[in-house]
Amino acid sequence: QVQLVESGGGLVQPGGSLKLSCAASGSSYILNAMGWYRQAPGKQRELVARSTSDGRTNYSDSVKGRFTISIDNARDTGHLQMNSLKPEDTAVYYCNAEGKERVGDSLYDYNSWGQGTQVTVSS
């Protein structure tokens, strides 16, 4: 199974920065895309940013220009650099990875989620 471990969350003042990390691991897999989602109390889970292995990126309008997603292909580790943080960025952030996993002589789609990391922006 492909597993994701998140880190980097915490408490930061408005205008500050945080960098989230998402490390993928598994026996035999291909990482094709990684994304970050967040969910605040009373709100639906929303896509924050997504990146594919071919270099395509997508950001929600609310974070565009402030957040940057990247993937370290050599380490199968994704990062979300968050700058100019606002109180409305406060949420639990979840890492997601998609790709193919080899089991025996077959390839299967996988969609894995990290455990979530709390980001709190408050003065």
Please give the pLDDT value at position 23: 97
pLDDT tens digits, one per residue of 64-96: 999 999 999 889 999 999 999 999 999 999 999
**Which is nearest to 103 in space by CA: 29, 44, 52?**
29
Please give the pLDDT value at position 53: 84
The rounded distance, in Å, linking the Cα atoms of 111 and 102 is 13
Q: In terms of DSSP bridges, do strands 117-121 and 57-59 run parallel, antiparallel, or are they unpaired?
A: unpaired
**In this structure, what are the phi and psi dihedrals at residue 87, rounded to the nearest 5 degrees?**
-55, -35
Question: How would you class 43 by CB atoms within 10 Å of its CB: exposed for 0-12, middle for 13-18, buried for 19 or more?
Answer: exposed
Contact 99, 32 (CB under 8 A): yes
Judge whether residue 32 has pLDDT over 90.
Answer: yes
Please give the pLDDT value at position 100: 95
Please give the pLDDT value at position 1: 85
Tokens 């996993």 found at: 101
